[in-house]
Amino acid sequence: MNQKIVLITGCSSGIGLALAVRIAKDEKKRFIVYATMRNLGKAEALMEAAGRTLGRTLVIKQLDVCNEDSIKACVASLPDGKLDILISNAGMGLVGPIECQSIEEMKAVMDTNFFGLVRLLKEILPDMKKRKSGHIVVISSVMGIQGILFNDVYAASKFAVEGFCESMAVQALRFNLNISLIEPGPVVTEFEHKVYEEGMKTDLSKADKVTADMFTNIYMKNFKQIYESLGQTPEDIAEHTHKIITMDNPPFRHQTNTLYTPMTTLKYADPNGDLPIDTFYKMVFEHDKVFNASLNFLKLLRWRTRKSFAIDKDKSNS
Ligand SMILES: NC(=O)C1=CN([C@@H]2O[C@H](COP(=O)(O)OP(=O)(O)OC[C@H]3O[C@@H](n4cnc5c(N)ncnc54)[C@H](OP(=O)(O)O)[C@@H]3O)[C@@H](O)[C@H]2O)C=CC1
Ligand SMILES: CC1=C(/C=C/C(C)=C/C=C/C(C)=C/C=O)C(C)(C)CCC1
C-alpha cells in the first residue's frame, strides 16, 4: 500500500497530540505519521494515546520549530527524505497589555508561530515542488482573521501566517501543491491553561489603571467562560483536519467552529472594518448587558452559516 508520509509539529499535547493519534488511526491505514515534539521527555501522553499504532503508523521524532538544525535532521530522517503532508501545529499564546510585555516575549511568539512555519517550508518546499505533490496544512486560528482584545501579538503572529500562506498559495497551485489553513476558535488544551496562568501572573504595574482594570476585570474574568461556552475539544479539530487531508480538493481556509463564524463574517460584511470592531466593543464594554446575549446571538446565528460547513454536518459541536 502506498501510505502518505505526514509530519506534525507540537505533538506533546493538545491539538498536535490529537491529530497524530487520529491520523495514525485512519480506518484505511492511509498514513504514516511522524509525530514530532521539541522535548522527547514529554512523549509519554502521546505514547499512551497512540496505543497499538506506536511504531506502526505512528513514529515519534524530535523537532523544535525554532531550530533549523533540528528541522533538517528530522526531515533527513524520513524515508527517502520525502514528505507528503506537513501539519504545522506548534504554537504558543500571549495575552495582556503590550506595556507589560517585553519585546523578547513578543519575539518568542513570532519566532514560534510564524518563523516556525517559514523554517519548515524552506526545508520541505523544494522537494514538494520537484515532485509536484504535497499538502501543507497550517493550524492557524480565528485570530488569523480577526484580532481579539489583549491578544495583539498572538493575533499578529496568526495574521502573519495567513498572509504568508495566502501569498504562497498562488505559487503552490502552479506546482499542484495544496495549502490549507485550519482556523479553530477556542479549543480546550494546555494552551488555555498556559495563557490563563501567564495572564494571571502579568505584572500590571506598567499599565494605566483603565487598561489594567480592563484586562483583569473584563478579559481575564470572562476568559474561562468563553472557553466553557465556545470551546471545542482537540479531538474535534483533529476530526476536521483528518477530513481536510482526505479530500480531493481541500479548501484553502476551514473554520472548525460554527458558533464563532458569525464573528469572522462581520469582517467581510463591512469593507470599512467598523462592524467587527463595534461589535467586539459592545461585547467587551457592555458585557454585563450583552455578553450572555451575545453568546446566545452567536448560537442563533449559527444555522445561517451551517450550510457552508458541510464538512462537519454530522459532527458539529453543541
Ligand atoms: N487552544 C486554542 O484555543 C487554540 C489553539 N490554536 C493553535 O493550535 C496550535 C496548537 O495549540 P494547542 O494544542 O491548543 O496548545 P498546546 O499548548 O497544548 O500545544 C502546543 C504545542 O506546541 C509545542 N511547541 C511550542 N513551541 C514549540 C517549538 N519551538 N517547537 C516545537 N513545538 C513547540 C508545544 O510543545 P511543549 O510541550 O514542548 O511546549 C506543544 O506540543 C497552536 O498553533 C495554537 O496557536 C488555534 C486556535 C485556538
Ligand atoms: C475572553 C473574552 C473575550 C473573548 C475571547 C476569545 C474569543 C478568545 C479566543 C481565543 C482563541 C481563538 C485562541 C487561539 O487561537 C471577548 C469576547 C473579547 C470579551 C472579553 C473577554
In angstroms, the CA 234 to CA 187 distance is 6
Phi, psi of 248 (to 5 degrees): -70, -40
41 CA distance to ligand 2 centroid (A)? 31
Q: Is the CB of residue 20 less than 8 Å from the CB of residue 8?
A: yes
Candidate of 158, 164, 187, 196 to mutate for ligand 1, largest count of ligand atoms within 8 Å of Cβ: 187
Query: At 60, which helix (H) or strand (E)?
Result: strand 58-62
And the C-alpha cell for 78? Answer: 524520513
Q: Please tell me the residue having the least CA distance from ligand 1 atom 45.
A: 91
In angstroms, the CA 203 to CA 90 distance is 27
- The residue extents of the domains of the chain are 4-208+232-257, 258-318
Which parts are annotated binding residues for NADP(+)? 10-38, 64, 158
**Gyration radius of the chain's alpha carbons:** 20
Provide the annotated active-site residues: 154
Which parts are annotated binding residues? 10-38, 64, 141, 158
233 CA distance to ligand 2 centroid (A)? 16
Helical H segments across 31-151, by residue range: 44-50, 68-76, 103-110, 116-131
**Other beta carbons within 10 Å of 56:** 12
Q: Please tell me the residue having the least CA distance from ligand 2 atom 8.
A: 186
Q: Please tell me the residue having the least CA distance from ligand 2 atom 20.
A: 219
172 CA distance to ligand 1 centroid (A)? 26
In angstroms, the CA 110 to CA 297 distance is 34
CATH superfamily of 4-208+232-257: NAD(P)-binding Rossmann-like Domain (3.40.50.720)
Ligand 2 pocket: which residues have CB below 6 Å?
A: 141-143, 148-149, 185-186, 218-219, 222-223, 226, 280, 283-284
246 Cβ contact partners less than 8 Å away, ≥ 6 residues apart: 26, 30
Q: Please tell me the residue having the least CA distance from ligand 1 atom 5.
A: 187
Phi, psi of 31 (to 5 degrees): -130, 150
- Smallest-distance ligand from the CA of 192: 1
Give the residue from 75, 77, 160 showing the smallest Cα distance to 121. Answer: 75
pLDDT number for residue 76: 97
pLDDT number for residue 313: 42
CA atoms within a 13 Å half-sphere pointing along the CA-CB vector of 103? 0
Rounded alpha-carbon distances, angstroms, from residue 42 to 61, 75, 316: 11, 20, 31
> Which atom of ligand 1 lies at the shortest distance from residue 11's CA?
41
> Which atom of ligand 1 lies at the shortest distance from residue 186's CA?
3
- Could you write out the DSSP letters of every residue in 135-150? EEEEE--GGGTS--TT
One-letter identity of residue 157: S
Rounded alpha-carbon distances, angstroms, from residue 140 to 74, 87, 89, 161, 257: 23, 11, 8, 7, 13
CA 117 to chain centre: 12
Candidate of 11, 21, 38 to mutate for ligand 1, largest count of ligand atoms within 8 Å of Cβ: 38
Q: Please tell me the residue having the least CA distance from ligand 2 atom 15.
A: 141
Give the residue from 313, 249, 242, 255 showing the smallest Cα distance to 4. Answer: 242
pLDDT number for residue 284: 84
Which pTM value belongs to this model? Answer: 0.93
Strand order in the sheet with 85-88: 58-62, 31-37, 4-8, 85-88, 135-139, 178-183, 253-255
CB 192 near ligand 1, within 6 Å:
yes
Q: Is the CB of residue 74 less than 8 Å from the CB of residue 90?
A: no
111 CA distance to ligand 2 centroid (A)? 22
Q: Which residues of the chain have pLDDT under 50?
A: 307-310, 312-318
In angstroms, the CA 186 to CA 228 distance is 9
How buried is residue 118: exposed, middle or buried, by Cβ count under 10 Å (0-12/13-18/19+)?
A: middle
